[in-house]
Structure 1
Amino acid sequence: EGAETILFYVGIIPRITTANFLIGIASAIAVLVIIAVAMTKASHYIKPHRIFFILTWLIYALAFKMLGVSIHALQLTNMMSNHLITGFPTMDWAGIYPSWEVLIPQLIFIVIIAFVTVRQHGKK
């Protein structure tokens, strides 16, 4: 994350004034403080366990989409083969594309999540 941020700054600094750069940093810090205060206050009403449960499934969904989009990008650049499944819908918002190379890894990912989830619930 830090390296990406530095690369972003290197690209944007020549295009903006120092004042705008500092205003951007101050604004970002202010937003982070507001979010931190809101989350601290909300934690009294929402159990941390519930928050982590929701965030875990959100991360799973994002990983599922990133897996599909990344493989599809490799296919678009001809770095990976593309065996289309006719009649299968494309759902860009979910990272689902009609090819075996995309769907098989996503199915494996779902199986791994299901296995880990069942195993974790078995320990309780």
Structure 2
Amino acid sequence: MARPIPFAETHQPMVEMNTTPLIDVMLVLLIMMILTVPVVTHKVAMDLPGDARRSAVPPPVHRLDIAASGALSWDGAAISAAALPARLAALRADAAGPVLHIRPDGEAPYGLVDETLATVKRARIEKIGLVDNARFATGG
């Protein structure tokens, strides 16, 4: 003859909701928010020029290239990051009102591009253009 199981007779099923999976999901969502919010809100504020009258003579254009290796070049000549503020100060002092075209390579480190844009902003350069890094001249 089989003996009755005492556990089944004395214990009732749980009626409380198991909140452990809910807490796990909420913690994962919280961590995802903590990781993504700083990336989304990071900006480099730039004061862009307003609507200015166009002159008959186009202003001179200088080009600042940022290579994938992190090297900087000014109008095709290599310069160091330490020499950039002096070049920008000379550009700002030029009475002809030159324009600065910044052309970062698509593989350039984001931090370097961000630092360069911040340096340009600190130099108070107002005529800035960002040039696309597509290869129009080579067709590819």
Which bracket does the TM-score occupy, shorter chain normalised? under 0.3
TM-score w.r.t. structure 1 length? 0.25
Query: TM-score, structure 2 length as denominator?
Result: 0.23
Higher strand share: 2
Instruction: Report which of the two structures shows the higher radius of gyration computed on alpha carbons.
Output: 2
Which protein has greater RCO, CA pairs closer than 8 Å, 6+ apart? 2
